[in-house]
A and B are shown apart, each in its own frame.
Chain A
Amino acid sequence: MLLIISIIFVIECVIKIIAQGFYFGKKTYLRDPWNILDFIIVMFSIITWVLEAVMDGADMSFIRGFRALRALRPLRVVSKNEGIKTVVNSLLESIPALLNVLLIVLLFLLVFGILGIQLFKGQLGRCSDDNEDTLAAIQWKYDCVGYSWHEIVNEYGE
């Protein structure tokens, strides 16, 4: 069943390429970004076939990764529906502006992140022990597991 569907997609892709031309010239197949998405998905299914044929029972674990790309197929619905296209286009258009916002967010995260390191570096660890009585007496990491950052620095120097 999956094979039949894949073949239908490949045929669609080939017919479109024959009709519109592949890349050179205006309004050819690959000039439309939606077709690029279609093309990539089709290419991946072809690559999977070729690899399966060539490898023939050898280590197939990495092919699984290619198989996961099948999940992208429903995205093709987008290129068939005008309304969804508007939403997607406006999202794509907003990417540069969103990246700016993201940069500002990252800047803030960086500032506070560095502040966090300065203030709380290595301070959030705690000792976990099944025995509640001995746990109460433990103050430092050294008491807990027998070595600590101080000790390593002292031993090996700067």
Chain B
Amino acid sequence: MREWTTPFNNYNDIMHSMMTFFEISTLEMWPGMMYDAIDSVALDHVPIEGNNTLISIIFIFFIFFTTFFIMNLFISVIVDKFNEEIKKRQGADNFTDEQKEWVKIQRLLVHTNPKIIPVEPINCFRLQCFKVVQSQAFEYIVMAAIVVNTVFLCIDYYHKSDELAKILDESNLTFVVFFTLELLIKLTAYGFKYYWYVNWNKFDVIIVAMSLIALDEELLKALNFNPTALRIIRVSRLLRMVKTSEGLRTLLKTLFMSLGNIINTALLLILILFTFAVAGMSLFGEIEDDEFLNHNVNFKSFYIAMMTLWRCATGESWNGIMHECFYAQSVVAVCYWLLYQLIAFFIFMNVFIAVIGESFNDNQATEDENDILALKKKDIKAF
């Protein structure tokens, strides 16, 4: 059986040609399209490999201009509008400068909680503990312990010798004992009230408690506890490293502050995925498996349809899937996928950037305000 076939990504009319270039602008499977063009010879001629390599300049140019510049306009537009909306909600839109100042100060008052300084204990033993905990050396030793613990966790590998396994087990025990001791010393030094006041300490308590429970594997098995969770607990100790540096803490705070908006956006994205998944199931539910639509990627059940759409929201080979849908459902498939890609890939993925960026700026701004305030305090004291 002899046939003359044309690939989906051709340039025979304006719609196909623009579609092809749109697919290239999403950076999915574009090398294949470029080599198809390079291999082309003449009208109705079979392709010859590497016929005109210079033509690749067009594709390089196109990607440089469209993907690197214009597609980023989507990001800037969405970030801009998102910030405007947030400002509007804070009511800073039609205020005078003085009113804005007032709002800023009010917000500052809400945000700045006075730092509580731990009181020196009267008890002789507790005083000793207090001095140890307050010393710089103690801080360094704890940090060193966390780093060494990290190194020990990295040593682990598949097919390790029995000796190494024993050493690792013992080291784990040592570290748990060390961190428990640290916690106890701090607790005696500060007293429970102040200790629990610092958020990072709560985190420490949870981790130490978890690793103490995790020591007794028999008990865990008796409790029907999953051993995977145990490994996660061991690793979560490393998160204490974040505490060490100011920059890391700011970043983590940013993530934490944006959590609310991230969840809202994610919920909205799930709604959109749901809507498209149901529509996709009725449109493409009966398509046979092929190269791109296979047993992992299809619209036959709700769960797999959601997975397929999520995968396409990250861009991965969405156009290959679209081509196979097109062969079954013609133009409807193209409309569906164009709409989906525009909403999920170009708009929603950028909303996440907008959310993070917004709360990062906000965080930075409050920190600047804090600096200014500190300066003024100093001036007043000097006066």
Contacts and interface: CB of A to CB of B under 8 A. Distances in A.
Interface of A: 64, 68, 70-72, 74-75, 77-78, 81, 83-84, 86-91, 93-94, 97-98, 100-102, 104-106, 108-110, 112-117, 119-130, 138-142, 144-145, 148-150
A124 B38 CA distance: 10
Majority DSSP secondary structure for residues of B touching A: helix
Interface residues of B, number: 63
B42 interface: yes
A75 B6 contact: no
Contacts, number: 193
19 contacts: A71-B275, A71-B278, A74-B274, A86-B85, A97-B80, A104-B70, A108-B66, A109-B18, A109-B22, A116-B11, A120-B10, A120-B37, A122-B43, A124-B10, A125-B4, A126-B6, A127-B46, A129-B2, A139-B46
B341 interface: no
A90 B84 contact: yes
B4 A109 contact: no
B44 A150 contact: yes
- Residue in A81, A91, A119 with the greatest tally of chain B CB atoms within 10 Å: A91
A117 B43 CA distance: 11
A60 B55 CA distance: 53
Contacts of A86: 85-86, 89, 261, 264
B279 to A, nearest CB: 6
Nearest to A64: B282
B17 A117 contact: yes
B40 interface: yes
B85 A114 contact: no
List 4 tightest A-B contacts by C-beta distance, closest first.
A94-B81, A71-B278, A90-B85, A123-B40
Interface stretch (B165-173, B227-235, B265-273): B265-273
B94 interface: no
